[in-house]
Amino acid sequence: MSYRRISVLLSAALLLTAAAAQAAKTAAPGTVDISYTKFTLSNGLTVIVHEDHKAPVAAVNVWYHVGSKNEPFGRSGFAHLYEHLMFTGTQHAPDGFNQLLAGIGATDNNGTTNEDRTEYFENVPSNALDTALWMESERMGFLLPVLDQKKLDVQRGVVQNEKRQDENAPYGKVELHLAEATYPAAHPYHHTVIGSMEDLDAASLADVQEWFKTYYGPNNAVLSIAGDVDTAEVKKKVEQYFGAIPPTPPVAHVKEWTAKRSGIQREVLQDRVPAARVYMVWNVPESSSDSADYLELLTRVLSDGKASRLYKRLVYDDRVASGVQAFLDDREVGSQFVIVATALPGKPLDKVESGIREELARLLKSGPTAEEVARARTGEYADFVRGVERIGGFGGVSDVLAKGEVFEGDPGAYKESLARIRGATAADLKREANAWLSDGAYILDVVPFGDFAPAAQDIKRDQAPAPGSFPEVRFPAQETATLSNGLKLVLVQRSAVPLVQLSLLLDAGYASDATSAPGTARLAMAALSAGTPSRNALQISSQLGDLGADLSAGSGLDTSSVSLSALKDKLDPSLALFADVVLHPTFPAADVAKLRDQQLAAIQQERRTPVSMALRVFPKLLYGEGNAYSLPLTGSGYEASVGKLTPADLKRFHDTWFKPNNATLVAVGDVTMVELKPRLERLFAGWKPGSVPAKNLATVPLAPAAAVYLVDRPGSEQSIIFAGNVAPPYGTPDNVAIQTMNTVLGGDFTARVNMNLREDKHWAYGAYTFVVSARGQRPFIAYAPVQTDKTGASMAELQKELSGIVSDKPVTAEELARAKSLRTLTLPGDWETGGAVASAIGTQIAYGLPAGYWDSYSGKVAALTLDDMKRAADETVHPKQLIWVVVGDRAKIEAEVKALNLGPIHYLDADGNPLLTP
């Protein structure tokens, strides 16, 4: 049973009050052994504790064994709706937990619902464990007294806007079609998790109260705690906070219902999509089965890496698809094996499907090779290791242990899956493929429609426990060195897991396109691993799979990067491959042509997807022509520019920007400077320094007055609203103040903009403000995806909030205190993983921040005053000079936008070009 699919029934033993402690053992090669202690309270709550003292943080994870599969006919969407309601407040915290979490430095805080479970989780500084446990016990035991009609109506509106937002996106209606077509009406997976509008409208207060009484008791839950904790103390605390909560009636759980299909079923869905896409789905066994593990490995054989069968055939050889993916949608009762492929524009979908069929038939007949199976096994193990570096969040230790207990009655169930994966053979995979993929396919063709362009102890519950003294948080110690060729090296040693992560940061990015052609940086970095003199793209992909390594390359606004994640025992060959890709890319013509086609397809997708439509047009309106930041924020460029790019252009990009004196290599993980530096000296000895061109980051003026730009998207179910202006660079002395002010305005869930448009008006699923990170002047953007009939009203509310922060509604002392907490108390969790540490160092490098920046960060935030907030708002937000971009159905929204009189209205196409005949 895969660690991502650990499943089936809670054991009856959950009702027993017995403790079972398991000590960590010496792990055999290719295994992971997570120590834990498990005990059960008299009310049925099962508790799992794992101690990990690498950082002063604790993960709290509560799993309720209830999901959309438990919903009766006419009540679809209840589990997901209740996930939202569980955030709205309890008897002793009537206003919810957002302010509380902000005040204790919580990170990775969220709730999720799927077909089989509902999960709530948060990471907190270890001193705030009491607060987190009190909060989760409040959710479990004290929600109903304050659950009223108003809260139900607000969250119903939020969920319905989430549904509109999801279904408004290209391919957004596919999930509903798959659920209804692949499972019979009586099956618990016949409907989607988010449910139907009709069922959500029909939900009454009595209905949702009864739902809580049925499923949210301690006997239907698992509490998983991991991190810097003491197990004995945790047992006392859990008994204190949860012990007095009474159990609910016993809950019945469906154990297995594969619903295997026979024959072929076809369906065609017309949607406003830029390219045709085919979905092929087979119903296969539940996630706890042996079959699920073998089928998971088969998905890697089919589509993991450029050398995989489907990618090589459809994208690399035939060039009929822009992308293809095989995956196992693993669930408790029955899983689905899914293949999805998107045709390149102009390529027939039947060619894509025939390619899939031929490759699948070849796999069924001959099975995978031993090399393919070995690569798939290594990839599964490496992904698991990367996940359990974290104590919380998806795939983290607390998540893995909770899954095993909820679905398997065994927190260590992941070991069985890893053992089965480690022993899998080509014969095993061939057998399962023939058993489950030779018959019963559901095929959905999604084709373009229309012209889309144009407790036991007595405790007080009046208030949350004070978190106590926060641990001293210091950024991990950095070692620095410089190679003989001028390449700067920054190392943070972390030995919690046997991983080493490297990121080569180059001063290039999308901003460098202003010196070449729009889209060059993105395409060049995508093609970097397409080949070297000694390896072609497929060989590079195969070797990465064999090593269990991840290699990626890409660009942001100011920097381009090449990153490697390698297992410690395979560091040498992984580094050799990394250096070869960095230093010797050949940009083969055939590979460049494929990747260019994919980028062109991505541009077409962006020109039809609401948010990316706004991201494409907004920069030119802010910065004007010629500035390095005036190109689309997606970095994809324009069809005209990308269509002309050649291998020579990409080589010129590499020759221009890949200089050791223009780069910094950041390393985080299980390696010392003594081990790493000599290896890098040897590998990069031939890399020579040189000059690089300057990018035009000249200061641009604010717009003389506000203006509104409409981009028509007929048939949109939502309008996407952007409003913004240029703001000071990241490196400004007032950056910390600007970030903190933005936290109050729109940078957090509890910020003004979101509380207005989502929580008060429920016109949007979420609304925020951003100050986009940039070395030069940054874009300040207010963003709100809103229901179409509230477009004008939402713009008016945004204008009110943006005006208020600089005039009649300045930041209050209470808001500043909360924002300070959000900016600082989360740091223990923010720097938990190697990737997070590397990202923070990357920020320091990209924006020229001084050494020790993160060590002094908390102090700078703590020293902020209300005068600092006023100055930051005045520097950042200019409500009378805003550039507004609205993407939506012009026929429905134009009149109300005009009536606002925010400024002159202009009409643009999807690339930001003025329309001559509006």
Structural contact between residues 187 and 12, judged by C-beta atoms closer than 8 angstroms: no
pLDDT digits 0-9 by tens, 547-585? 999 999 999 999 999 999 999 999 999 999 999 999 999
End-to-end CA distance of the chain: 59
* pLDDT value of position 635: 94
pLDDT digits 0-9 by tens, 884-907? 999 999 999 999 999 999 999 999
* pLDDT value of position 789: 94
Looking at per-residue pLDDT, the higher value among 364 and 9 belongs to 364
| Residue 445 pLDDT level (bands cut at 50, 70, 90) | very high
Classified as helix, coil or strand, 613 is helix
Query: What is the pLDDT averaged over residues 422-439?
Result: 95
Structural contact between residues 62 and 140, judged by C-beta atoms closer than 8 angstroms: yes
pLDDT digits 0-9 by tens, 236-280? 999 999 999 999 988 888 888 999 999 999 999 888 888 899 999
| Residue 693 pLDDT level (bands cut at 50, 70, 90) | very high
pLDDT over threshold 70, residue 148? yes
* pLDDT value of position 493: 93
Which residues does 718 contact at the CB level (< 8 Å), separation at least 6? 161, 164, 165, 168, 610, 785, 786, 787, 788, 888
* pLDDT value of position 29: 40
pLDDT digits 0-9 by tens, 806-845? 999 999 999 999 999 888 888 877 788 888 899 999 999 9
857 alpha-carbon distance from chain centroid? 26
Q: Bridge-partner residues for 59, per DSSP? A: 123, 226
pLDDT over threshold 70, residue 24? no
| Residue 918 pLDDT level (bands cut at 50, 70, 90) | low
Which residues does 854 contact at the CB level (< 8 Å), separation at least 6? 475, 840, 844
* Lowest mean pLDDT segment, chosen from 677-691, 768-782, 844-858: 844-858
| Residue 457 pLDDT level (bands cut at 50, 70, 90) | low
Query: What is the pLDDT averaged over residues 763-785?
Result: 94
CA 322/CA 314 separation, integer angstroms: 8
| Residue 197 pLDDT level (bands cut at 50, 70, 90) | confident
CA 646/CA 596 separation, integer angstroms: 9
| Residue 638 pLDDT level (bands cut at 50, 70, 90) | very high
Measure the CA dihedral 409/415/421/425, to 10°: -100
pLDDT digits 0-9 by tens, 642-653? 999 999 999 999
CA 146/CA 433 separation, integer angstroms: 52
Average pLDDT value over all residues in the chain = 89
pLDDT over threshold 60, residue 97? yes
Classified as helix, coil or strand, 38 is strand
* pLDDT value of position 834: 85
What residue type is 690 in one-letter code?
G
- 187-to-66, 190, 192, 218 alpha-carbon distances in Å: 15, 5, 12, 27
- 241-to-56, 92, 786 alpha-carbon distances in Å: 22, 13, 40
| Residue 16 pLDDT level (bands cut at 50, 70, 90) | very low
Structural contact between residues 390 and 57, judged by C-beta atoms closer than 8 angstroms: no
pLDDT over threshold 60, residue 797? yes
Structural contact between residues 205 and 85, judged by C-beta atoms closer than 8 angstroms: no
pLDDT over threshold 70, residue 161? yes
Long-range CB contacts for residues 437-440, cutoff 8 Å, separation at least 24: 437/282, 437/284, 437/298, 437/337, 437/360, 437/364, 438/364, 439/261, 439/262, 439/263, 440/260, 440/261, 440/262, 440/263, 440/264, 440/282, 440/283
pTM of this structure? 0.75
* Lowest mean pLDDT segment, chosen from 165-174, 181-190, 592-601: 165-174
Structural contact between residues 509 and 633, judged by C-beta atoms closer than 8 angstroms: no
Which residues does 103 contact at the CB level (< 8 Å), separation at least 6? 467, 818, 821, 825
170 alpha-carbon distance from chain centroid? 18
pLDDT over threshold 60, residue 4? no
